[in-house]
Amino acid sequence: MNHVVGDVHYLALGLPGARTLLTVHDCVALHRGSKFKRAVLRKLYFQWPVTRAARVSTISQATRDELVRVTGCDPAKVQVIPNCVAPEFRPEPREFNTARPALLLVGTLPHKNLERTLEALRGIPCRLRIIGRLTSQQRALLQEFEYVNEFDLTTRQMAAAYRDSDLLVFASLYEGFGMPILEAQASGRPVVTSNLSSMPEVAGDGACLVDPNHTESIRAGVTRVIQDHDYRGGLIAQGLQNVEKYRPERIAAMYLEVYRELLL
């Protein structure tokens, strides 16, 4: 059998459809570029491969709903099998620095909403650790902040980045899943994330949800987590409980079940 995963959905077009599983991580390609480009991608990356494959999996219910909407496929053909959290991300006790917390920001692409997040953080005493390549415009916005910038980190280095931070701020505008949410929860760190797309689904009860389109909402969420000890502790406890649903063994078993069905 064949399992197509990653940004190569079109490969399903050249494989025996009856024994092909296609995994779709997100539909972000349909949210950017020219109208012509999006029309081509809709056919080549989504509609035709989804039609060809016997089974389709998505990594979140939000992505499943969007995929069914943009392709018009039978919803029964699409199953949610989420991502798993790597074992490198594990809890390590850390005293929260309420006076000047270390905030971790993961991702610098436009939909990661870094510019609005920085606006929301202006005036809050903090240190920033930003993962991702910064543009010159983003660097200009960061002049008044104390920050470090890193990119192309290994999984082990990313795990260390979470453990060395007090709080993940992940107010993204769109995610097919939102892996940093689980990585922070598995590391025993509180999370502030968006109340839209797949992020509430992935976070469960283990995150402070904010409106990523409004700086006031982001700021209020970050401030509450910093100042409210009990609320912060509850988020951490709920996050550690939430990640148990995303352990590799559980996700592997879900894929194995689909493999067996395709091979019958």
Please give the C-alpha separations between residue 95 and each of 9, 64, 243, in angstroms, as whole numbers: 45, 39, 21
Provide the domain limits for residue 40: 2-83+247-263
Q: Could you give the number of structural domains in the chain?
A: 2
Same domain, yes or no: 119 and 68:
no
Same domain, yes or no: 228 and 256:
no
Q: Is residue 42 part of a domain?
A: yes
Backbone angles phi, psi at 140, to 5 degrees: -65, -40
Q: Is residue 91 part of a domain?
A: no
Instruction: Evaluate whether 173 touches 114 at the Cβ level (below 8 Å).
Output: no
CATH number at residue 56: 3.40.50.2000
DSSP 8-class letter at 103? E
Q: Is the pTM of this model over 0.85?
A: yes
CB atoms within 10 A of CB 238: 17
Q: What does each of the 264 residues of the chain score in pLDDT, given as a tens digit?
A: 999 998 899 999 999 999 999 999 999 888 888 889 889 999 999 999 999 999 999 999 999 999 999 999 999 999 999 999 999 999 999 999 999 999 999 999 999 999 999 999 999 999 999 999 999 999 999 999 999 999 999 999 999 999 999 999 999 999 999 999 999 999 999 999 999 999 999 999 999 999 999 999 999 999 999 999 999 999 999 999 999 999 999 999 999 999 999 998
Q: Is residue 40 part of a domain?
A: yes
Q: Extract the tokens encoding 7.
A: 């940004």
CA 15 to chain centre: 29
